[in-house]
Amino acid sequence: MNYRKDPLVNNEYYHIFSRSIAKFIVFNDAEDYSRLIELIKLYRNKDFYYKYSAFKKLNISYQKDIIDSLSNRRLVEIVAYCVMPTHIHLILKQIEDDGISKFMSKVLNSYTRYFNTRHHRKGPLWEGHFRNVRVKVDEQLLHLTRYIHLNTTSAGLVKNPLDWQYSSLPEFLEETESKICSFTGLIDMKPIKYRKFVFDQKDYQRSLSIIKSHLIDNYSC
């Protein structure tokens, strides 16, 4: 049984964090990252019942018909995300009962099957259950999106967070046609103002991350 001290409640927002076993690198190249993001996009839908491997074997036209036929019923809404070499950050709103748990189970299990097949590996990939922290106030949500979008610079992967292709920052700045996230009405900032909000904090968050690494049990990057 997937018991949690703090139950996941419908219509509440959560910071979700999942890390690989022993910080094993589970995203090695663009194919790996893109696969995870596609899984996030599809499995948020309550009515998507396909195994991803079977879905991808269908012709492109049929895949499109399936996607177009999906209702707007969701297990979760994606607010923001960042996929890192060893872990995943998400901000999710739970829509259906057990929606976050069902969504995360589908995404992580599907990715594990894909990764193990592609890289000729066996066994589990993720470190226990995903972690969750409820976002209690709107201001906390705003700052959490910034924290997630700056995670790659804090980890020293890139100097400019926009150079990292596998986060939702381009969506927030309206610099991509891809639309996965739902944050309208939550983030009351125009893209130019949000850009300043994020980039002005870049160097400070990096120094803060170094300090936190000595105080927290490696929860973040």
pLDDT in tens, 137-180: 888 888 899 999 999 998 999 999 999 999 999 999 999 988 89
CATH for 21: 3.30.70.1290
Residue 5 lies in a domain: no
Quote the percentage of the chain above a pLDDT of 90. Answer: 66
Q: Specify which residues 45 forms β-bridges with.
A: 74
Domain-embedded: residue 57: yes
Q: Is residue 2 part of a domain?
A: no
Torsion, Cα of 210, 211, 216, 221 (10° steps): -20
In terms of residue numbers, what domain contains 202? Answer: 13-213
Instruction: Give domain status of residue 4, yes or no.
Output: no
Alpha carbons 27 and 20: distance in angstroms, whole number: 10
Alpha carbon distance 104, 130 (integer Å): 8
Best CA proximity match to 111, nearest among 20, 179, 3, 45: 20
pTM over 0.85, yes/no: yes
Asked if residue 113 belongs to a domain, the reply is yes
pLDDT, averaged across the chain? 88
Least confident range from 1-15, 69-83, 118-132: namely 1-15
User: Does 114 fall in a domain?
Assistant: yes
Residue 220 lies in a domain: no
- Whether 39 shows a pLDDT value over 50: the answer reads yes
pLDDT the model gives residue 202: 77
Which pLDDT belongs to residue 8?
94
Within a domain: residue 101?
yes
pLDDT of 126 strictly over 60: yes
Number of domains in the chain: 1
pLDDT in tens, 86-116: 999 999 999 999 999 999 999 999 999 999 9
Instruction: For residue 106, give both structure tokens.
Output: 């589908």
